[in-house]
Amino acid sequence: MKNFFLIAGPCVVESIDLCDEIAGKVKELTTKYDIPYYFKASYRKANRSRLDSFKGEGDIAGLEIIAHIGKTHNLPTLTDIHESHEAAIAASFVDVLQIPAFLCRQTDLLIAAAKTGKIVNIKKGQFLSPDAMQHAVNKVKANSEAPVWLTERGTTFGYQDMVVDFRGIPIMKETGCPVILDCTHSLQQPNQTSGVTGGLPHLIETIGKCGIAAGCDGIFIETHPNPAKALSDGANMLALDKLDALLEKLVRVREAVS
């Protein structure tokens, strides 16, 4: 059985110690379950509701921490980029460049990411149909021979909720790209009046099982030892101590549908 791969880590680089703790624990679990693992962390959070929200400790400092984690734990790494000039800089530190959902139609950004030669993971916009992602794929493939991944992260439902249309997984797989399900951001509840995004983390297992059953190639989970104290997206993160039980169940679902 070819297992799914896992993209996991904190939402944003908070400290080297936190990243080291998370990467070490997740690697231990993914080794246990024979799951390929990519460490994920954003070096900067450009898309925040409030001006006073934590954005990061500095771009280069954050990227250096991600690179350190990759080297220390012998893991491939992934981070987001937001503007075209960031692509080459981030590519010198990480293995995979991720395009945030809100930016998936930004042609210059996609081309800049492609030209680095790194894997490009494009998150499907909350406002796009699954088949429309073919255009984003074409922009990257026209400028690079490196792999392109697509990530489902839910569709805007009203003003303050997200829903996942699992038909989108097989539709996006028709592009020939691996398709990933972002279990945590799919459960966001954005646009809260407090300016702090809400979430439904108790449904992560449900979303994950459905994604595996629908045939996704990878699972994306943001995790933290104490989500209540996370500096970004804590409301929809998975507590690190719950990851073991979740991965065991997802592997069983994968076995059942393979």
Class of domain 5-257: alpha beta
pLDDT of residue 234: 77
pLDDT digits (tens, 9 = 90+) for 5-56: 999 999 999 999 999 999 999 999 999 999 999 999 999 876 655 554 555 5
pLDDT digits (tens, 9 = 90+) for 58-111: 799 999 999 999 999 999 999 999 999 999 999 999 999 999 999 999 999 999
| Long-range contacts of 57-63, Cβ-Cβ distance < 8 Å, separation of 24 or more | 57/13, 57/14, 57/15, 59/86, 59/89, 61/13, 62/12, 62/13, 63/89, 63/90, 63/93, 63/94
Which range (25-34, 125-134, 182-191) has the least confidence? Answer: 182-191
In the structure, what pLDDT confidence band is assigned to residue 193 with cuts at 50, 70 and 90?
low
Question: Rounded to two decimals, what is the model's pTM?
Answer: 0.93
Strand partners, 105: none
Q: Which residues contact residue 49 at a Cβ distance below 8 angstroms, ignoring those fewer than 6 apart?
A: 190, 191, 192, 195, 196, 197
How far apart, in Å, are the Cα atoms of 11 and each of 71, 127, 227, 249? 20, 22, 10, 23
Distance CA 192, CA 91 (A): 34
Which one-letter amino acid corresponds to residue 91? A
Is it the case that residue 195 has pLDDT exceeding 60? no
Angle of helix 133-141 relative to helix 107-115, nearest 10 degrees, comes to 40
In the structure, what pLDDT confidence band is assigned to residue 1 with cuts at 50, 70 and 90?
low
Distance CA 116, CA 112 (A): 7
